[in-house]
Amino acid sequence: MFIIQNYFKELKFSFIYILISITLTTIIFYHYNYETLYIIAKPLIKSDYLPSSFNFIFTDIFEAFKMYLFLSIFMGVHTNIPFIIWHIWKFLIKGLYNYENKIFILFIASIILSFSIINILFYYTIFPIIIDFLIQFENSNSFNPFNIQIQLKLKDYFLIYIKFTYLFNLTFILPFITLFIKNTKWIYFKKFIYLILLIIIAIITPPDIFSLVLFFLPTIIILELAHFLKKINY
């Protein structure tokens, strides 16, 4: 009973530390809300297909405030993911053998490294391509008698960014996790897994074949690569 109480006490302190860290980081990001918004909106602002007169709009008097607050919380949680993972490892380490601890450290280090590389690749390469593809229809035809222009709400763009960010991370990190799973029975259900992934990606991504292929194809390739590597190991 005493050991269980100690575990809960340690878990409580870890939760408090994480909560304090997220709160402080959120406050910092909210203080620099315009700079934070510029970082998020930069892939859109730098688009060659965007009109020079483009501005974000909002239709609710509280929308700008809520989005700045939500943006700050999102960035606070997102930047604290390595800190959260470190606390999880610190809590689990006491119940792991030495070889399990080494595997877990390798796993965590690989996930953090992959997470960093994937986010950099997404921000500087993939997301700008998606943005250009989605807004280029305005300039695809020189005949524009109605003067159709994009007027994007701040809320809509931010939700699109969050959706694509986490979808892109899950697309590449989940297949990577399968390399550390010893049980290979999931391989026999690949067709159903692919079908479920296809449905999820089709629901989340915009209704165009380009976005669907962009997220679904790398998932299949990485899953098959993980399957191939596990065959070599076994």
Which of the four pLDDT bands, split at 50, 70 and 90, describes residue 177?
low
Give the DSSP per-residue string, 98-134.
Answer: HHHHHHHHHHHHHHHHHHHHHHHHIIIIIHHHHHHHH
User: Residue 21: what pLDDT?
Assistant: 94
Average pLDDT, the chain: 77
Question: Averaged over 132-147, what is the pLDDT?
Answer: 64
pLDDT at residue 64 is higher than 70: yes
Inside any domain, residue 203? no
User: Residue 26: what pLDDT?
Assistant: 94
- State the Rg of the chain over Cα: 22
Share of the chain above pLDDT 90, in %: 9
Which of the four pLDDT bands, split at 50, 70 and 90, describes residue 57?
confident
Inside any domain, residue 207? no
Inside any domain, residue 18? yes
The total number of structural domains in the chain stands at: 1
pLDDT at residue 25 is higher than 90: yes
* 50 close to 104: Cβ distance less than 8 angstroms: no
Within 10 angstroms of residue 218's Cβ, the number of other Cβ atoms is 15
Domain of residue 47: give its range: 2-177
pLDDT at residue 188 is higher than 90: no
Helix (H) or strand (E) holding 67: helix 63-79
Helix axes 154-177, 190-204, angle to 10 degrees: 170
Inside any domain, residue 158? yes
For residues 209 and 162, the model is more confident at: 162
pLDDT at residue 58 is higher than 70: yes
Inside any domain, residue 184? no
Inside any domain, residue 155? yes
For residues 39 and 95, the model is more confident at: 39
* Tens digits of residue pLDDT in 107-138: 777 777 777 887 888 888 888 887 887 777 65
Please state the pTM of the whole predicted model.
0.71
Inside any domain, residue 137? yes
pLDDT at residue 159 is higher than 60: yes
Inside any domain, residue 202? no
